Structure 1
Amino acid sequence: MGETIKIKLIKSKNGCSQRQILTLKSLRLTKLNKVVELPDNPQIRGMIRKVSHLVKVLE
């Protein structure tokens, strides 16, 4: 099985741009403190970089 990465939404999306909100939606982060496990690939890493101030990568 491939590598996965866990991401947690730690800050609210209130006041964010529409583009950042759509990025969070595509990462399946809809509620505060929600943790999702996604495949670790360059596309996911790029999305995390765009909303890095709102999320935390868990080890």
Structure 2
Amino acid sequence: MARVRITQVRSTIDRPQTQKNAIKSLGLGKINRSVELEYNDSLKGALTKVQHLVKVEEI
């Protein structure tokens, strides 16, 4: 599987709780924080919920 770098670029203030939970499950929580993860189906689902809050780059 491919590895991706996920960077949070927008705040979770005034967002639904499901989006806040998705950001937390990705290991993010503050703007400009990045994580590198293996791209799989569960990650794809979390990214779909918060695609407007994060930037995804393939490594």
Decide: shared fold, TM above 0.5: yes
Structure 1 residue 4: deviation in Å? 1.3
Aligned length: 58
Matched, 1:55 2:54: yes
Equivalent residue letter for 1:23? A
Q: Runs of 4 or more off by more than 2 Å in structure 1?
A: none
Percent identity for Structure 1 against Structure 2: 40
Query: Over aligned residue pairs, what C-alpha RMSD do you find?
Result: 1.0
Matched, 1:37 2:36: yes
Could you say what secondary structure the match of 1:6 adopts? strand
Q: Which runs of 5+ in 2 are unaligned?
A: none
- Rounded to whole Å, the distance in 2 between the matches of 1:28 and 1:43 is 14
Gaps of 5+ in 1: none
